[in-house]
Structure 1
């Protein structure tokens, strides 16, 4: 049984005087111990909302969460978070607090806003150790210093006394990772952990996450908009668009033979060192919107040159391909080699709403 099985996860925000917004629409995926699974897509595709729903951090008012997220929380009998297989979406707040930090951990996107600005780093790290591991104050502080040293923060004893604003962006992100791994969680969620960092620090953070997965056997759910990040880290990749998974496959399979036009567009917008200098990038025009609901057809249709009337013939099914390759498109890309190079002609002018092919 997988460590985490997400089945038809949906999150709907109730509108005030407006229609409801379905931010996540029947998302399904699995995650095994020691595996890294990526959720990829532009801003507004539902990646962060998915992670917040799994961690039980969404508001209780005005939000409807449906589906299942089965987590294997088995462990030692004296572990308060050991509860067998549980549905993370149905747990009461007290049981969820026992799991968070002990078996579930999350690295948030902005470390400066995620850390308490008026509490020293040391107190924020030791709080997790005393809460979930029952360590006394002195032992927790010693363990906290070892954690900071492990994630590459120099002079950890001094850093424990400092406040978040006294640390650099890379150090703050490392402090968040130290807090996340303090109790050796079985599942860690990293939500855009390298967005605000320079390229050198990004590489260091990704290498740190990779080492933690290999050494501890922790399962990692990596959330990012950068396909370059998942290329060297993830085992499986799920591409989200407007709240739905539009393509999912093993990493090598997805990069070698992208099938959905949206995935092709994401790959085509990545600069490559080996590309001819005169070859322009092919960005996806427009932005994520909800002009077309998934119930009516493909939400990506207004941005896709392969769009026809058939695309609005009802909700597109998630079709299964070879070797677990899944895609949600009635006009899938068949020329994988050209698609991977970003040369598929899928991003011209906007199509007509009548659905006439161009």
Structure 2
């Protein structure tokens, strides 16, 4: 069992969980981060594992977040259900506490942490007080994350959306911090939604109807309908403008409630890109159920793979432009044929143009006038329709 556990750790490149004791990251990863990844690998859901460990759901949530300690009895139960040994799990918890203490004692940690934040964007978007002074900045930033202290922030964001953002290392990298801030903007919206239990089949059944929302030009019309439709089947859909340094188009992960969230940035401010990103992330929810972050230039997922990205791409393509319709357009993608195909499929013509550009059946820009485009104004969560 221990060998299998080690193989699993190596396979998924867990970073700090590899326990390279010569490396001291500027991060503290709770045992819950390892537990969640092994749950995903072994396809064990939260209720099943909580029952196996003899924990109520609130206590199990505290364990995952790093706010509950691993006792010898709990360590034995973890070894039985997830692998390795009780000694490993006790050492894992001890290392986490040691990392928290080390980070708290670092004199320059606060300054480095705040310096890495996209403060200018956060002020501009109204996510922190525009007039906050330097000596109060740390508390304002912690408030954005709903954390009481930097050790608390370390504890909460070493897993979940933190694991999605900090994909390369556990250092305070500026671009990754901007990405984490963008993800947190989605998390803040997601936890405010009244979400029922996730209904996977209901979500799949809903998807063909959602593409028809692209017929609406204005985000102020289609976005609330998209959010509410997905909410009814337990999926949170959120949007936020990307801060400076964040190149994300979309992301998926699970909220603390277990509900999936699809977070979108309206990157490139074009309808074809927005809707492709939504259905791409929906594909991850349907097929993979893990955390993914899609950025310009390739997959940046912490646990991402080119296979999963290709599957999500095909999923989006087939919903937006079904293969039989695509085949008929590939050789003769003229405007009238595109308009007929858009009416047949029930999507905006601009989406068809975008799909044909992706398939290299159309040179980029040739029919760009058929696309609706957006512009950001004062609202950091929803752009406006740009003038033609």
Q: TM-score, with normalisation over the residues of structure 1?
A: 0.29
Q: TM-score, with normalisation over the residues of structure 2?
A: 0.28
Greater RCO, 1 or 2 (C-alpha within 8 Å, sep 6+): 1
Q: Which has the larger share of strand?
A: 1
